[in-house]
Structure 1
Amino acid sequence: MIFRDELPIYIQIMNLIKIQIVNGEFKSEDKLLSVRDLAKELKVNPNTVQRAYQELELEGLVETKRGMGTFIKEDDKILEKLKNDLAEKIVLEFLDKIKNLGFTNEEIVNIIKKEIGKEN
């Protein structure tokens, strides 16, 4: 994984795990890599991974079982909210970028309709 400078690394790790949850790479009750193993894989400090895991736990996405590791929580409502939150973030970033190019709302809608029509 290549980390970007504009976001703290622990947030980028959190986002990676969130996307893996939404994509189904992680399912409820799946065990995450240990802090050390993930830190070694990502070539980051273990404290950075620990911070990401702690923040994910505060958000209710994972739970740490003492002596066993960190696991994805089994809560469909939280997972659905995560999926919707990520989608909203992507849409807002897209709208911000395309509006900065000078497109009007109507032009944006037409571009989206055109692209969605290509999928059929």
Structure 2
Amino acid sequence: MPIFRQIFDQISRQILTGQLQPGEQLPPIREFSTELKINPMTLSKVYSMLESEGFLERRRGIGLFVKKMGSSESSSVKTELAEEILKDAAVNISQLGIDEDVAMKIFSKHYKKYRNKPEE
């Protein structure tokens, strides 16, 4: 998976899970790209994608901030993200030759364990 996609997924998840709150400012591109050890153009692309997807809002001369989403918009984005995550998991599990019933039991066990807890 391309690095820009990995960073996009990470930041969007942080927004959807509340780790990044509405109104919170993201670090400047130059500073954050140095910290991540990536090309500033890569991070600029990520920020632009996040803005076009409705996760961020640009305040001229100030920077980029996490945008407040409506509950239906947030729910839709979360559903799309879950679909993508579970599709990838299903591909990996099927490639391992794991039976569907076993896979569902594993998923159910972990879902119950983590549904009300932050990621460990």
TM-score normalised by the chain length of structure 1: 0.79
Q: Does 1:93 align with 2:85?
A: no
Is the Cα–Cα contact under 8 Å of residues 56 and 65 in structure 2 kept in the other structure? yes
Q: Secondary structure of the equivalent of 1:64?
A: strand
- In structure 1, list runs of 5 or more residues that go unmatched: 1-6
Is the Cα–Cα contact under 8 Å of residues 35 and 46 in structure 1 kept in the other structure? yes
Q: 1:33-57 deviations in whole A, cap 9, x for unaligned?
A: 0111111110111111111000111
1:4 corresponding residue in structure 2: none
Query: How far off its partner does 1:22 sit?
Result: 2.3
Identity of aligned residues (%): 33
1:73 is aligned, of 67, 82, 85, to: 67
| Cα distance in 2, alignment partners of residues 55 and 43 from structure 1 | 20
| Cα distance in 2, alignment partners of residues 107 and 56 from structure 1 | 36
Between the two proteins, the alignment pairs up a number of residues equal to 112
| Cα distance in 1, alignment partners of residues 60 and 67 from structure 2 | 15
1:17 corresponding residue in structure 2: 11
| Cα distance in 1, alignment partners of residues 69 and 38 from structure 2 | 29
Is the Cα–Cα contact under 8 Å of residues 15 and 55 in structure 2 kept in the other structure? no
Is the Cα–Cα contact under 8 Å of residues 31 and 70 in structure 1 kept in the other structure? yes
Larger Rg: 1
1:48 is aligned, of 42, 48, 69, to: 42
- The root-mean-square deviation of aligned C-alpha atoms, in Å, is 2.1
